[in-house]
A and B are shown apart, each in its own frame.
Chain A
Amino acid sequence: MSEDLKTMLKVYRGAADEAPRYEQFDVPHEDGASVLDALVWVRENEDASLAFRYSCVSANACKECMVLVDGKVNYACTAKLNTGTVTVEPLANKTLIRDLVTDIVPPKERLASADVE
């Protein structure tokens, strides 16, 4: 298979109060791999602190993994991983929490705001 192929993954890093920066990771490329596969690979092999949301892995059921892939809104788990450079950034229209995680929690599902005690 395509063992020598690589993807240069350019990932947005940092929390809301930090200056934006990008980090690059050389990720092995496999046929049929998704952008999510590449992010998981980074967390496992390069940087365990990389923050992104996902649950269902590939069922495309949880809808938690939405990010910008090369500037376009996409599910990380369904976006095919290209070779060459792929840029992954947090959703632009949501408040940034950290790295690729944005505030997608519906307001009424927040304990703090719902709590009156």
Chain B
Amino acid sequence: MMRVSTDVFVVGAGGAGMYAAISAAREGADVIVADKSLISRGGATIMAQMTVASAVGHEEPDHWTHHLADTIEAGHSLCNEELSAILCEESVTRIHEMDEWKVGWARVEGRMTQVHAPGHGLKRCVYVDYLNTGPAVARALRGEVAQRPGIRRASGLAVIEIVVQDGEAVGAVAIDVESGETVLVEAGAIVMAAGGLTKLYKRNSASINMGGEAYAMALRAGAELIDMEFVQFFPIGHLAPRMVGMDPIMWDPFRYKVGGRLLNGEFEEFIHNYGASDGGNYTARRDVASYAIYKEVEEGRGSPHGGVWLSFDHISEEVMKEKFGPMIGRLAKNGIDLQKQAIEVSPIAHYHMGGIRVDTEMKTRIPGLYAAGEAVGGANGATRLSGNAIPEAFVFGERAGKFGAAFAKGRARAPIDEAAATIVLSEPKSQLQKNAEPDGSATALMTELQALMWDKVGLFRTGEKLEQALERIREMQSDDLRNITIPDDEPFNQALLDWYELRAGLLCAESITLAAINRTESRGAHQREDIPDASPEFERNQTIEMSGDDMVTGWAEVPRISYTLEEKQAAVI
């Protein structure tokens, strides 16, 4: 067993984790930033290709309060407005700071170029050309992290559990993936920045490391989660043909820039049958588009892979080339010629609004445990504006690192009892077998879970389907998970890591399903076919915590801001 000790331990090295590491180091703290994959490469940050919303006001006069108003509106009355306000206000500073760190925001004549994205009142989104936002962000932050002496980087360190002693978070138990060795990390503060959970759905835009471990670790440590029922689905994610090197949500700009026709399996337009007009301007609302696609597929009118067709054959080659330049070449590399063929699209799970409950210092209710990035719940309410997730990672990361460092400074580091690690790791121990041929694999169960979540806890839910899902999820927790044989004593023991991931995924799945059962209304991303309307009674956040092995839910008042947006604008101008 290896032991390390640090002021601030950051779990996950995406946009949020790397920002947290930098800001903690700026406060003079020693930092270890760990990722189960490689630093900066494992999660959503490097995969994002498009927009970053912030009221920097380069393209049009803007103010963060306008951004806040749009964010709150999208959130369907559930935004933790204090967090949303911090996100909108501080993103401006973070965007400029990233600029100093040479991220390379697209510019014309010195001004940052900002584009309009759905839900924003004006042109607010910066980006890096061409469709390179995520890789550029990852590279800039990776560089900053590397050059700060106070930061130690740990690629290939899978964090399994937060260690809590006397009600406070004092460190973590991790596995060094390559050697299989157990690592005990003693820390003055821990920042949970291990990303989202959209991998738990069959159709998703996720990396393989987005199975919800952040939420599960926080929950088991005693922190609360909120609003877990709100998973954002993107209506026209790429489905087929197989395409690499492209963002699966890339068809959205294609559709609204040049218009793209959605056709069912019989090559007929169908959006108009669902109360929306799509003719001419192709602006059917996202929720209507999702519902229409879902219904066409359910009624047997889907495309071969279970989605619908998106066709551009009515648009000339010149127009496509002019609007999408190098993208057309990248599509050609994938063997896709939009002049000749339609592609298949389907809604996909894309972002998680719910998450770890924190205060404005990014503190959970467990002293010493902070959270940042997509792992945090609340700022985006019941649906997220496009472009809000990357600034959320920056802003919350910066704060978690700063406040975590301040907390660590005033605290004596507690030595962790080695027994803590033994207990954490004992759970699958009995299932480890020397040279075993694994039968019943965690990956196969994960695939089953993804299908279950997609079919029964997906875009359109009913009480009946949710109950069926909950029953199977609990059975998987108590039976299937315990019956997997895991080969022992191997370096890079993927089967063991898959087991831990499945355990975390099941806990998240349970929390989403339970929360969706309790919210007997439809609001934002949570749509119940059996209860199609929103109800004022549910203008509340739903909380989840563990009591022993049981999950307990509750309701909390939505935190609102006490000033008017006009007051804030007047104060600044």
Q: Is the CB of B491 within 8 A of A97?
A: yes
Q: From known contacts A103-B178, A111-B32, infer whether A78 and B245 are also in contact, taking CB-CB under 8 Å.
A: yes
Chain A interface residue number, banded: 35 or more
Within the complex, the shortest CB–CB distance from A60 to chain B, in Å, comes to 4
Q: Is the CB of A59 within 8 A of B245?
A: yes
Q: From known contacts A15-B490, A64-B41, A117-B4, infer whether A58 and B46 are also in contact, taking CB-CB under 8 Å.
A: no
Q: Is the CB of B46 within 8 A of A78?
A: no
Say which one of B18-26, B148-156, B521-529 lies at the interface with A: B148-156
Q: Return the chain A residue nearest B46 by Cβ.
A: A61
Q: Which of A34, A51, A104 is the most central at the interface, judged by chain B CB atoms within 10 Å of its CB?
A: A51
Q: Is the CB of A55 within 8 A of B209?
A: yes
Q: Given the complex, which residues of A lie within 8 Å of B498, measured CB to CB? A: 48
Q: Given the complex, which residues of B lie within 8 Å of A31, measured CB to CB? A: 241-242
Say which one of B439-447, B453-461, B548-556 lies at the interface with A: B439-447
Q: Is the CB of B152 within 8 A of A115?
A: yes
CB of B135 within 8 A of chain A? yes
Q: Is the CB of B246 within 8 A of A59?
A: yes
Number of A-B pairs, beta carbon distance below 8 Å: 141
Interface size on B, residues (CB 8 A): 55
- A 12-43 binary contact with B (CB < 8 Å = 1; else 0): 00011000000000000001111000001001
Q: Given the complex, which residues of A lie within 8 Å of B156, measured CB to CB? A: 105, 109-110
Q: Given the complex, which residues of A lie within 8 Å of B495, measured CB to CB? A: 48-49
Within the complex, the shortest CB–CB distance from A99 to chain B, in Å, comes to 7
Q: Is the CB of A117 within 8 A of B243?
A: no
Q: How far does the alpha carbon of A86 sit from the alpha carbon of B441 in the complex, in Å?
A: 24
Q: How far does the alpha carbon of A106 sit from the alpha carbon of B142 in the complex, in Å?
A: 12
Q: How far does the alpha carbon of A58 sit from the alpha carbon of B238 in the complex, in Å?
A: 11
Q: Given the complex, which residues of B lie within 8 Å of A15, measured CB to CB? A: 490-491
7 closest A-B pairs (Cβ-Cβ)? A32-B242, A48-B441, A60-B245, A111-B154, A109-B155, A48-B438, A62-B41
- List residues of chain A with CB under 8 Å of any chain B CB: 15-16, 31-34, 40, 43-45, 47-51, 53-64, 77-78, 97-99, 101, 103-106, 108-112, 114-115, 117
- List residues of chain B with CB under 8 Å of any chain A CB: 2-5, 32, 34, 37-39, 41-43, 46-47, 134-135, 146, 152-157, 176, 178, 183, 206-209, 240-248, 335, 437-438, 441-444, 447, 487, 490-495, 498
* 26 interchain pairs, CB-CB under 8 A: A31-B242, A32-B241, A32-B242, A33-B242, A43-B441, A51-B490, A55-B43, A55-B207, A55-B209, A56-B47, A58-B242, A58-B243, A59-B248, A61-B41, A61-B134, A64-B38, A103-B178, A105-B156, A108-B146, A109-B153, A109-B155, A109-B156, A111-B152, A111-B154, A112-B176, A114-B154
